[in-house]
Amino acid sequence: MSASSLARARDFIANETQFHLGFLPTEQSSPLTRNLDKEFARSTVDGVANLQLVDRNVLEMAKKVLKSREFSRLCAEGLETLKKGRKIVFSGCGATGRLSILLEGMWRETAEKYASLNQYADQVFSIMTGGDFALVRSVEFFEDYLEFGREQLRMLNIGKDDMIVAITEGGETSSVLGTLEEAVNRGAKGFLLFNNPAELLAERIERSARAINDPRVTVLDLHCGPMGLAGSTRMQATSSEQLIAGAALEYMASELMGTPMPDIAADFAKLLDELDAPDSRKAMADYIDFEAAVYKKHGRITYCADDCLLDIFTDTTERSPTFMLPPFRPSDDTTAPAPWAFVKNPLFDTKAVWERNMRRPLRCLEWTKEDYIRLGAAEKIQNNPPKISSANLLKIAVGNEESPERYATGNDAAILVETGVAENRCELEKAFDLYARKFAAGKRLFIGCGDGDFTVKCTIPDTPLRLIRHMAVKLVLNNISTGTMVVMGRVTGNWMSWVDCTNKKLMDRGARLVSEIGKLSYEESCERLFEAMEIIAATTKPGEEKQSAVQYVLERLK
């Protein structure tokens, strides 16, 4: 072991204890899915059924929270904010950052659709740690900086009578807590949503305690237990946050429109029952087997969509750090490995796709080296600022531009994802049929009441924001992406044993994975993990897929 990697490991063990998060329920292994890999080995249908068990915890949480005083306050304060012409800002990082963008997009789409909401269209905003670019590709280490969050909040010019809804699955993400602190210091109303017991967070993590104990902040504790995939908070944690935050927007919209309030808990319960039905479960299992077969032949998957494009981004982007898959790459980058899964809208070019789905200008970060110095970034970030500007985002061709690498292997598949509510469904299907001719296979994944090659049947209630439609897409894609990676051998038990250690939280998670699976102490696991990260960084050649440091250590232990 080199002196440098040993020093880094020991520094992490001794000085980064605020990022040692194994005591949090969201970081632990769910007893319901402890044998997830064995369930999938028995049959893919059994594996899907096992994954679905944990979503029931979200429903039980929602039944209580939707009746709580804190949720009523969230709705009432949000309604007052809108009526005053002020801003509601959702703030998140990683999965919750993509959720924040989705919530803004849902509101803007709904407000444009209904005349009684038109005047409120430009009053809901989102902050994604790392800016809009992070919707399609994770921005390493950004979540570790409170000051980065504060700066992004300042860019929106938030002030008195505005409102912030900070969303962090663990309740401890530095950048998100930075946006919350900056907002309430400026006089905004503050709300904080997270998925661990508030008392535990306040007792063990100083930055969390500061927010939870702040009298200016209303806390909504959405604790619903460990994730179906250990530590993967894109699963039930983000599902619960999407359900609760989305329900608040549904209630605000209904009040402004003068329509009956939807029964979100009942609608969600019905959705879970429909997804648990044998036909729906089999459709998900059949699709998992199909996608895994494509990857096993070294083929690639390209999801095509229009009305649910943002929903798909929230899932596909998370696959990269969770399962160590190549991230999305710019169209002019022919060196980096191509992503296994990609997303396209066959109807519009990339610029038009973003205009259509965001319904506002791109909100990327155009920070310079001087900005990173001012914000206290690490020296390696100062000297090599990440390329996350609007121009860089537009280089990732998610529109109908030619992308020959997506069908170059001869084993690739294009997948049209539909929910049956798109007004331009005929045009979308025609464009997809034309696009899919270049692929070895073209299939339809239908989520809702309709027919496809794989049909997951469920009812979509006609509420203003159609929240349950978004929940259906999320739950189905969570099951599909997780199940596919289990079939591909990238899950051990219910641990994501191919995680990419790109920030302090993931370094801690990687060390705990090595400790759990390799039966080592946490300290020795850290040392071996940091050694592996150093070796992999030095030996990975351009164009090669980077190996998981966790897998590197486990293979050497064998």
Every domain of the chain and the residues it spans? 3-29+495-557, 55-261, 266-350+396-487
**pLDDT of amino acid 224:** 95
Q: Which of 299, 303, 283 is nearest to 428 (CA)?
A: 303
For residue 4, count CB atoms less than 10 angstroms from its CB and return exposed for 0-12, middle for 13-18, buried for 19 or more.
Answer: exposed
Backbone phi, psi, residue 352, to 5° = -70, -30
Measured distance CA(346)–CA(356) in Å, rounded:
13
- Other Cβ atoms less than 10 A from the Cβ of 350: the count is 19
Q: How far are the Cα atoms of 9, 109, 414, 433, 540 from residue 554, in angstroms, in the given order?
A: 17, 47, 35, 44, 18
Res 533: pLDDT: 94
> 55-261: what CATH class?
alpha beta
What are the phi and psi torsion angles at 286 (to 5°)?
-60, -40
CB atoms < 10 A from the CB of 426, how many?
9
C-alpha dist (Å) from residue 250 to 237, 244, 310: 20, 10, 18
User: In the prediction, which pLDDT does 541 show?
Assistant: 87
Name the phi and psi angles at 416, rounded to 5: -90, 120
Determine the angle formed by the axes of helices 309-323 and 95-113, rounding to 10 degrees: 180
What are the angstrom distances between the C-alpha of 211 and each of 173, 175, 191, 200, 410? Answer: 11, 12, 10, 13, 53
Q: What is the pLDDT along the chain (558 residues), one digit of tens a residue?
A: 889 999 999 999 999 988 888 899 999 999 999 999 999 999 999 999 999 999 999 999 999 999 999 999 999 999 999 999 999 999 999 999 999 999 999 999 999 999 999 999 999 999 999 999 999 998 878 888 999 999 999 999 999 999 999 999 999 999 999 999 999 999 999 999 999 999 999 999 999 999 999 999 999 999 999 999 998 999 999 999 999 999 999 999 999 999 999 999 999 999 999 999 999 999 999 999 999 999 999 999 999 999 899 999 989 999 988 898 999 999 999 889 999 999 999 999 999 999 999 999 999 999 999 999 999 999 989 999 999 999 999 999 999 999 999 999 999 999 999 998 777 889 999 999 999 999 999 999 999 998 999 999 999 999 999 999 999 999 999 999 999 999 999 999 999 888 888 888 889 989 998 998 899 999 999 999 999 999 999 999 888 888 889 989 998 988
Sequence-distant (≥ 6) Cβ neighbours of residue 279 within 8 angstroms: 455, 457
pLDDT at position 499: 84
Task: Tell whether the torsion through CA atoms of 532, 534, 536 and 539 is positive or negative.
Answer: negative
Q: Residue 114: what pLDDT?
A: 97
What local confidence, expressed as pLDDT, does residue 321 receive? 87
| Calpha distance 552→279 (Å, rounded) | 39
∠ CA 503-324-390, nearest 5°, is 65
Question: CA angle at residue 475 from 275 to 239, to 5 degrees?
Answer: 130
> Any idea which fold 266-350+396-487 has?
Rossmann fold (3.40.50)
